Chain A
Amino acid sequence: MLLAKTLRSSTLKLALACIGIFGAVVFALFGYVYWSTVSHIRGRADHAVAAEYSVLQDAFDAAGRRGLVAAIEQRIAEQRLVGGYYLLAEPSFARVAGNLDVWPSGLDGPRGWEDVSVQERKAEAAARVLLRARFDTLPDGYHLLVGTDIGDVSQFAGKIEAALAGGILLLLVLAAVATAAVTRRTVGRIEAINATSRAIMHDGLGRRIPVRGTRDEWDQLAENLNLMLARIEALMGEVKQVTDNVAHDLRTPLARIRGRLEKALGKPEAPHDQALISDVIADLDAVLRIFSSLTRISQIEARDRTAAFRTVNLVEIASEVVELFDAAAEDKGSHLAVAGDGDVPVTGDRDLLFDALSNLVDNAITHGPKGTQIVVEVAQSDSGPVVTVADNGPGIPPHEVQNVLKRFYRLERSRSTPGNGLGLSLVAAIARLHGAVIEMVDNAPGLKIRLAFRRSPASRLQGASV
């Protein structure tokens, strides 16, 4: 879970990009050091060889081949050039003088500069030396080669290459460790914020993002978000308080009016007035019902989830709801049935679940035409218990699906049917309290409302042990 998140993390991508750039810079730096060092050493070798060559050239010019041979012998004896190698060869490349036995192969043309590997004289077969050599063909057709051992240069280059490889390897290891640590930490902190956000969407605004007390930018972010949440919660609370107060304060005078009307209803003076009073009482009751629905919804929303929850059987509740509404469906000429048997337990409040299902069934009966088929189905799915109320009535247009859960929202065509637009809000509030997800899908034709509950802790335990 966290690994997958870590791999998808933008921090990881950023870190990898940094490693790439840093690696390239280190590579370039080593490359420059390598190149400049090697060219410097070669420059010095070239310089020394060129000087030595011109001394020999001078000897040849002054005393001919004999002078040249003497000069070569002398310079070898005196070791005038450390690591220097000389070879004078006949036009057929046979050795005349010098400390090399054989004219090296691979020298193209009559003259030039070349890096060449040679066999050291009087040495074991394996001892080869890498030379930086200048060779030329003298006016008499003899060949002269002067070189200097640049084995230490290639050794140096090898060392630099090893250092470069080691450095890059070390860099990669350290960078990998650092990246893993930083990404884990970042992903961990972000995950804490994400988890809190999900918890807030699920449980309400009471949750806060944990602050670690490190006073870093993450803590600052968490503190700011927490302040924002506290502010939102306070505002929501105020709004709710106002709505609740309005509902409550209006209920008291309305209840008094109702009481007085009831008293008036008891006086049988004018029969016409009696009917009028009854109608007013009925209207008043409708208003009072709206208020009690409103306060009920906010009470459900404000409720502590765990209080008064027991294990209840959804199949039993669904059957009872269907049984209660059976007569109402019959009256309307609709057909109401329940599907699913056995035991589908959820942790919840029987009254509230009954109320929610009642609302859904009542909606299907009220808004469907004569002959509507309504099926309440209870099933145990992989993710948990699911209750479905499906009908083949008029359905809800797709763009209205989210709206119908809002308080007081009513579809245009439902304006003439009884109701106050609070039923589905109540269902939504009850679903939320039970951690259930409410889903509306097209039943083609009609509407299918699914209430998907989460697995109860007990069955989750069973699921885990299987």
Chain B
Amino acid sequence: MTGGRRRILVVEDDPETASQLVESLATSGYHADLAVNGGDALSRGRSTDYAVMTIDRMLPDIDGIDIIRHLRNDGIVTPALIISALGEIDDRVRGLRAGGDDYLVKPFAFAELLARVEALARRSATVVKETVLRVGDLELDLVSRTANRSGREIELLPREYRLLEYLVRNEGHVVSRAMLLQHVWDLHFDPTTNVIDVYVGRLRRKIDTQQRYPLIHTVRGVGYYVRASC
């Protein structure tokens, strides 16, 4: 969590959910503004430069998707996380097509929401073209798609490489299992099994066994993050 308190626009009409959202975003170092209807959301979205906005699909006066569409038409590119009780893939596709950047289904874990908001906030901050990613003594060569720790090459399957790259790109930030499945496997459903954990476990054995310090860390019940020290 770099920099000062970044501003987030929360568009949510249910008071209970809204207060939980604002509160948990605040404890994570964000300043959250609340808009309880579409008109409010549009005027705030146009006037203030937010890092991220979270938008509920079902508002009393307007579909959340239309808010995004209006803002995008006005040239506002603030990353948008669509939150919806409508879980189906068709809705997700519609939401993303309208200019949403990510999609989260109710009910969600706040840790999941935070992880996604963080990812969107980072995306808006910097897009740097690099050929080598480094975390501690781990190096990822983005051109040859190889990985090494302290110069010793680690053999990875293509998917394991993509998984590691995604974790490293989000260095220091928690990514959830659903985010991994979405970005590494391009799958948009919540696996009901621990298959992702097992997969990460195998990657971890390849990366962290017999090293001076571990790189892949687990946040129980949420997901994983990569950091050079404990």
Cβ A266 vs Cβ B27 within 8 A: yes
Whether A289 touches B190, Cβ cut-off 8 Å, given contacts A263-B24, A349-B89, is: yes
Question: Most chain-B Cβ atoms within 10 A of its Cβ — which of A258, A285, A327, A351?
Answer: A327
CA distance A354 to B109 in the complex (A): 24
Chain B residues with Cβ below 8 Å from A307 are 90
CA distance A9 to B111 in the complex (A): 66
Cβ A248 vs Cβ B85 within 8 A: yes
Chain A residues with Cβ below 8 Å from B192 are 289, 293, 420, 422-423
Cβ B198 vs Cβ A327 within 8 A: yes
Partner of B107, one of A251, A296, A299, A352: A251
CA distance A278 to B189 in the complex (A): 23
Whether A358 touches B191, Cβ cut-off 8 Å, given contacts A248-B85, A255-B107, is: yes
Cβ A259 vs Cβ B20 within 8 A: yes
Whether A327 touches B199, Cβ cut-off 8 Å, given contacts A255-B108, A278-B221, is: yes
Q: Which of B12-67 contact A (CB under 8 A)?
A: 16, 20, 24, 27
Q: Is A292 an interface residue (CB 8 A)?
A: yes
- In the complex, residue of chain A having the shortest beta-carbon distance to the beta carbon of B20: A259
Question: Most chain-A Cβ atoms within 10 A of its Cβ — which of B87, B93, B187?
Answer: B187
Whether A358 touches B195, Cβ cut-off 8 Å, given contacts A262-B111, A266-B27, is: yes
Q: Which of B96-116 contact A (CB under 8 A)?
A: 105-111
Cβ B159 vs Cβ A323 within 8 A: yes
Q: Is B185 an interface residue (CB 8 A)?
A: yes
Chain A nearest Cβ from B223, distance in angstroms: 13
Cβ A354 vs Cβ B201 within 8 A: no
Cβ B107 vs Cβ A252 within 8 A: yes
Chain A residues with Cβ below 8 Å from B89 are 308, 349, 351-352
Chain B residues with Cβ below 8 Å from A248 are 85
Give A294-327 as 1s and 0s: 1 = Cβ < 8 Å from B's Cβ atoms. 0110010001000110000000000010011101
Chain B nearest Cβ from A301, distance in angstroms: 12
Give A33-56 as 1s and 0s: 1 = Cβ < 8 Å from B's Cβ atoms. 000000000000000000000000
Q: Is A273 an interface residue (CB 8 A)?
A: no
Give A237-263 as 1s and 0s: 1 = Cβ < 8 Å from B's Cβ atoms. 000000000001001101110110011
Chain B nearest Cβ from A234, distance in angstroms: 23
Chain B residues with Cβ below 8 Å from A352 are 89, 189
Chain B residues with Cβ below 8 Å from A288 are 107
Cβ B187 vs Cβ A256 within 8 A: no
Give B99-143 as 1s and 0s: 1 = Cβ < 8 Å from A's Cβ atoms. 000000111111100000000000000000000000000000000
Partner of B189, one of A258, A323, A351, A422: A351
Chain B residues with Cβ below 8 Å from A174 are none
Cβ A278 vs Cβ B195 within 8 A: no
CA distance A420 to B192 in the complex (A): 9
Cβ A362 vs Cβ B109 within 8 A: no
CA distance A256 to B194 in the complex (A): 24
Give A343-356 as 1s and 0s: 1 = Cβ < 8 Å from B's Cβ atoms. 00000011110110
Cβ A299 vs Cβ B108 within 8 A: no
Q: Is A164 an interface residue (CB 8 A)?
A: no
Cβ B107 vs Cβ A324 within 8 A: no
Chain A nearest Cβ from B96, distance in angstroms: 12
Chain B residues with Cβ below 8 Å from A351 are 89, 187-189
Chain A residues with Cβ below 8 Å from B159 are 323-324
Interface of B, helix, strand, loop or mixed by DSSP: loop
Cβ B220 vs Cβ A320 within 8 A: no
Whether A330 touches B202, Cβ cut-off 8 Å, given contacts A288-B107, A307-B90, A308-B89, is: yes
Q: Which of A23-40 contact B (CB under 8 A)?
A: none
Chain B nearest Cβ from A422, distance in angstroms: 8
Whether A256 touches B20, Cβ cut-off 8 Å, given contacts A323-B159, A331-B198, is: yes
Q: Is B193 an interface residue (CB 8 A)?
A: yes
Partner of A258, one of B107, B185, B188: B107
Whether A262 touches B107, Cβ cut-off 8 Å, given contacts A327-B199, A327-B201, is: no
Partner of B106, one of A255, A263, A327, A330: A255
CA distance A330 to B191 in the complex (A): 19
Chain B residues with Cβ below 8 Å from A325 are 195
Cβ A308 vs Cβ B107 within 8 A: no
Q: Is A225 an interface residue (CB 8 A)?
A: no
CA distance A262 to B108 in the complex (A): 12
Q: Is B157 an interface residue (CB 8 A)?
A: yes
CA distance A358 to B157 in the complex (A): 20
Q: Is B208 an interface residue (CB 8 A)?
A: no
Whether A320 touches B185, Cβ cut-off 8 Å, given contacts A259-B24, A289-B192, is: yes
- In the complex, residue of chain B having the shortest beta-carbon distance to the beta carbon of A286: B192
Cβ B85 vs Cβ A303 within 8 A: no
Q: Is A328 an interface residue (CB 8 A)?
A: yes
Q: Is A281 an interface residue (CB 8 A)?
A: yes
Cβ A362 vs Cβ B193 within 8 A: yes
CA distance A331 to B205 in the complex (A): 12
Cβ B221 vs Cβ A281 within 8 A: yes
Partner of B190, one of A292, A299, A330: A292
Q: Is B88 an interface residue (CB 8 A)?
A: yes
Whether A303 touches B88, Cβ cut-off 8 Å, given contacts A282-B221, A324-B195, is: yes
Cβ B190 vs Cβ A262 within 8 A: no
Q: Kindly list 14 other residue pairs between chains A and B, CB separation below 8 angstroms, not including A259-B110, A327-B199, A328-B199.
A: A259-B109, A262-B24, A262-B110, A281-B221, A282-B221, A289-B192, A292-B190, A293-B192, A299-B87, A324-B159, A328-B193, A331-B198, A358-B193, A366-B193
For the complex of A and B, list the 8 residue pairs with the smallest distance between their C-beta atoms, beginning with the closest: A255-B107, A327-B202, A328-B198, A327-B199, A327-B198, A362-B193, A251-B107, A281-B221
Q: CB within 8 Å of B: which residues of A?
A: 248, 251-252, 254-256, 258-259, 262-263, 266, 278, 281-282, 285, 288-289, 292-293, 295-296, 299, 303, 307-308, 320, 323-325, 327-328, 330-331, 349-352, 354-355, 358, 362, 366, 420, 422-423
8 A-B pairs in the complex with CB atoms less than 8 angstroms apart: A263-B27, A266-B27, A282-B221, A303-B88, A324-B199, A327-B201, A330-B202, A366-B193
